């Protein structure tokens, strides 16, 4: 999409244009005289600043007055450290002005609005950092509403580096003679700080995906990419996030918070932060450090390192996933001193759950997905909660929640039936069946149709993976070979190997899911017996294969050996490393769902995920099936309350007015109709109002008049 310019040469001052035309005509008359050429070049150089000034003045004049007032007020609020005003300008005013004036075009460039800030009492450094923050909003708008070009991609990276360099390496004040960097005394809302980290990683992801498509580049783009090999490199992005974590000392701060829990004379969060570091004492750096940990989780997932992604969450994971209540008050737990935003909550659970799924820890993934989907359902019922009332924020959260639901549907199908982890929340399961019922049905049956369903949901719900390394744009011969290379051809019976990272992870996931496709059929036969021979089981399995056109039946010992191998796969799949384990009863360490969760995100113990167990003794299979008792109390309470509400609605509704049969020759408004309607009204009035007793006295109803 082409973006119109904010100013045009037609608006240039006529006197300046005439002067340029006169000089050019004089040059044409004098021919190639070197003296005249030098004089003309010097005069044009003198005119260029005036031309640029005229262009900026014309562009500034085109900016609406309400936008100018907003920029001045926004700058003044940041100077005054007025956090409520900054939050209002960022979350409310800026989006409204964008929808009103700049929904299809870019905001004014920072160089254009800079003269509006010169009249204030701010120093050059304060004006500079405001322009850097404004430029961050400018490029975020370009990425979200418009199509960024290569200049936007390079300049947004430079602006991000300038912002983080200012925060990490800002020089100390003039009174301090040391050359050590000092923390910046800047106040920004938590939502803005999260958006800075989130947008930084998003632009990195988009650039890597765009950079990997070599054949779509023009000559100018190839030259710029060859000169800027370090732009949006994986090393630079990881360096920024790790530097923010190290500078803020967020991990040490969280450890200190945990140590203070339970003490009678526990220190406050502010006292703990001041004792660790001057950077930790400022909410700006604590929040950026905390969000950088969550950003590292996302970056490592995009790069395909799921183990390292969970490793960086060692300290933060217990706060987000270990049972601390989301949105709890600050006086309930010292861990609530960390910021808690809906977007961070849902995004973190999505990436942690996806890591568990790719590591084949399906029970842990299911528990993570159930937690965040329950939170999203509560969030839908309270849309007015501050933090996600903006439509763009809510739409992004809703999209992530829907992708999480698709991942839950896949994990639910990969866990063997009868596992207690398939019954964590019936409401979430029913929602998944309503949304992805056809895919879940195919995935649970196994076979080739199951792999198609897995592929469909995986491509929809997975993150957009990226390559860690850039194509060799600085090597002309290598780029020429890539541009002239033919697409890979597939050999007979196989598909071409794609270098796309998403396709690479898809192949790994389908290989794991494909190994489990025969298990539903095998398990259905084992449920019918307490003991049977391997020969008989193999005959059952071969009869199923004969009925399927894409399967070839084996014979004799080969079929028996195949059946034993499938049983070993079933045995292996019935056990899983899990951070959550079923507990008997409800103790202090167990949740209301009957599961306990302790340790870091990579810790766990081997648990059984199936209600079916078997042993093979000399070609005889002995099967033992354990029945998990269902918790009926909650089911009965829920359905009793539902029945009570229905009964209250029925009793509280008025009686229907009986239809009056009008005799022939009688008018509808005659005396007979009035008598019938009157008697019905009297009957309704004679009914005594009732009062419903709250749960605990279900079925008890008392009349107001004591009857």
CA Rg value for the chain? 34
pLDDT computed for residue 340 by the predictor: 80
Q: Which of 45, 61, 77 is where one domain is finished?
A: 61
d(CA 629, CA 535): 34
Tell me how many domains the chain contains: 2
Q: Who wins on pLDDT, 532 or 302?
A: 302
Q: 508 pLDDT band (50/70/90 cuts)?
A: very high
Residue 218 belongs to a domain: no
Q: What's the distance, CA 600 to chain centroid?
A: 22
Nearest alpha carbon to residue 207 among 266, 145, 155, 279: 155
Give the pLDDT band (50/70/90) at residue 672. very low
Does residue 348 lie in a domain region? yes
Please give the Cα distance from 587 to 436 (Å, whole number). 36
Is the per-residue pLDDT at 176 higher than 80?
no
Percent of the chain with pLDDT over 90: 29
Which domain covers residue 13, as residue numbers?
9-61
Instruction: State the CB neighbour count (10 A cutoff) for residue 501.
Output: 20
pLDDT at 558: 77
205 Cβ contact list (under 8 Å, min separation 6): 302, 464, 466
Residue 367, token pair as written in the block: 């528990």
Domain assignment present for 508: yes
Distance CA 76, CA 264 (A): 43
What is residue 131's predicted lDDT score, i.e. its pLDDT? 93
Q: What is the longest distance spanned by two Cα atoms in the chain?
A: 117
Query: Of the ranges 76-85, 613-622, 680-689, which is most confident?
Result: 76-85
First to last CA, the chain: 75
Give the residue from 195, 138, 187 showing the smallest Cα distance to 167. 187
553-595 per-position pLDDT tens digit:
455 677 778 778 888 887 777 777 887 655 544 433 334 444 5
3-state secondary structure of 701: strand
Residue 364 resides in a domain? yes
Q: How far apart are CA 198 and CA 314, in angstroms?
A: 20
How many residues would you count in the chain?
Answer: 707
Distance from the Cα of residue 211 to its chain's centroid:
23
The distance of Cα 99 from the centroid of its chain, to the nearest Å, equals 24
Q: Is 644 helix (H, G, I), strand (E, B) or coil?
A: helix
Q: Taking residues 673-694, report their average pLDDT.
A: 46
Share the mean pLDDT of the chain.
77
Handedness of CA 359, 361, 362, 365 (dihedral sign): negative
Q: What percent of the chain has pLDDT over 70?
A: 71
- Beta-bridge partner residues of 595: 582
Q: Which two tokens stand for residue 226?
A: 């060859």
Is 393 within a domain? yes
Is residue 96 included in any domain, yes or no? no
138 in a structural domain: no
Q: Which residues contact 591 (CB under 8 A, 6 or more apart)?
A: 323, 597
Residue 352 covered by a domain:
yes
d(CA 54, CA 52): 5
Measure the CA–CA gap between 495 and 486, rounded to whole angstroms: 15
Select from 518, 472, 586 the least CA-distant residue to 229. 472
| C-alpha dist (Å) from residue 669 to 71, 98, 573, 659, 665 | 69, 61, 77, 13, 12
Q: Quick one: tokens of 155?
A: 């300049």
Which of 44, 61, 78 terminates a domain? The answer is 61
């Amino acid at each position: 999409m082409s973006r119109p310019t904010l100013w045009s040469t037609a608006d240039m001052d006529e006197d300046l244009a005439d002067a340029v035309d006169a000089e050019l005509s004089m040059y044409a008359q004098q021919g190639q005289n070197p003296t005249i050429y030098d004089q003309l070049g010097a005069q044009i150089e003198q005119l260029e600043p005036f031309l640029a000034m005229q262009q900026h003045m014309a562009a500034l004049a085109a900016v609406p007055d309400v936008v100018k007032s907003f920029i001045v007020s926004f700058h003044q609020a940041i100077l005054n450290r007025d956090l409520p005003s900054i939050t209002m300008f960022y979350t409310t005013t800026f989006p409204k002005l964008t929808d009103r004036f700049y929904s299809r075009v870019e905001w004014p460039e920072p160089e254009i609005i800079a003269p509006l800030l010169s009249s204030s009492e701010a120093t050059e450094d304060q004006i500079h950092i405001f322009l850097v923050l404004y430029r961050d909003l400018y490029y975020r708008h370009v990425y979200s509403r418009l199509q960024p070009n290569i200049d936007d991609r390079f300049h947004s990276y430079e602006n991000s580096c300038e912002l983080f360099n200012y925060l990490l390496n800002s020089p100390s004040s003039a009174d301090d003679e040391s050359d050590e960097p000092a923390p910046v005394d800047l106040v920004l809302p938590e939502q803005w700080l999260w958006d800075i980290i989130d947008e930084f990683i998003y632009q990195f992801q988009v650039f890597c995906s765009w950079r990997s498509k070599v054949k779509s580049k023009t000559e100018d783009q190839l030259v710029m990419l060859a000169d800027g090999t370090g732009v949006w490199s994986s090393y630079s992005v990881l360096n920024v996030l790790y530097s923010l974590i190290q500078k803020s000392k967020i991990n040490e701060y969280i450890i200190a918070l945990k140590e203070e829990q339970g003490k009678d004379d526990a220190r406050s969060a502010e006292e703990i932060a001041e004792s660790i570091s001057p950077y930790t004492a400022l909410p700006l750096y604590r929040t950026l450090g905390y969000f950088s940990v969550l950003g590292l989780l996302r970056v490592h997932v995009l790069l395909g390192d799921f183990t390292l992604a969970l490793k960086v969450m060692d300290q933060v994971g217990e706060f987000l996933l270990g049972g601390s209540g989301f949105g709890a008050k600050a006086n309930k737990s010292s861990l609530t001193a960390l910021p808690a935003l809906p977007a961070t909550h849902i995004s973190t659970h999505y990436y942690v759950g996806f890591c568990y799924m790719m590591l084949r820890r399906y029970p842990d993934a299911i528990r993570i997905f159930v937690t965040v989907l329950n939170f999203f359902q509560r969030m839908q019922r309270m849309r007015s909660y501050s933090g996600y009332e903006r439509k763009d924020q809510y739409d992004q959260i809703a999209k992530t929640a829907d992708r999480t639901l698709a991942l839950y549907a896949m994990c639910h199908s990969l866990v063997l039936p009868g596992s207690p982890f398939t019954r964590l929340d019936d409401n979430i399961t029913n929602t998944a069946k309503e949304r992805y019922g056809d895919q879940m049905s195919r995935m649970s049956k196994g076979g080739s149709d199951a792999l198609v369903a897995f592929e469909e949901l995986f491509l929809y719900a997975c993150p957009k993976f990226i390559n860690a390394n850039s194509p060799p744009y600085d090597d002309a011969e290598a780029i020429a070979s890539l541009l002239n290379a033919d697409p890979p051809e597939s050999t007979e019976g196989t598909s071409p190997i794609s270098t796309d990272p998403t396709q690479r992870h898809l192949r790994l996931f389908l290989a794991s899911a494909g190994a489990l496709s025969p298990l539903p059929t095998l398990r259905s036969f084992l449920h019918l017996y307490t003991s049977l021979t391997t020969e008989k089981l193999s005959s059952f399995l071969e009869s199923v294969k004969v009925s399927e056109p894409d399967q070839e039946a084996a014979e004799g010992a080969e079929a028996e050996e195949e059946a034993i191998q499938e049983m070993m796969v079933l045995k292996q799949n019935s056990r899983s490393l899990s951070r959550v384990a079923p507990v008997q009863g409800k103790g202090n360490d167990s949740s209301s769902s009957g599961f306990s969760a302790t340790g870091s995100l990579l810790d766990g113990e081997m648990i059984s995920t199936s209600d079916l167990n078997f042993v093979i003794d000399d070609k005889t299979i002995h099967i033992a099936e354990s029945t998990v008792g269902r918790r009926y109390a909650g089911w009965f309470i829920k359905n009793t309350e539902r029945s009570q509400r229905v009964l209250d609605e029925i009793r509280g509704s008025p009686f229907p007015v009986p239809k009056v049969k009008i005799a022939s020759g009688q008018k509808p408004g005659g005396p007979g109709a009035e008598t019938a309607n009157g008697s019905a009204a009297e009957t309704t009035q004679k009914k005594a109002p009732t009062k419903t007793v709250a749960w605990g006295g279900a079925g008890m109803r008392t009349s107001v008049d004591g009857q």
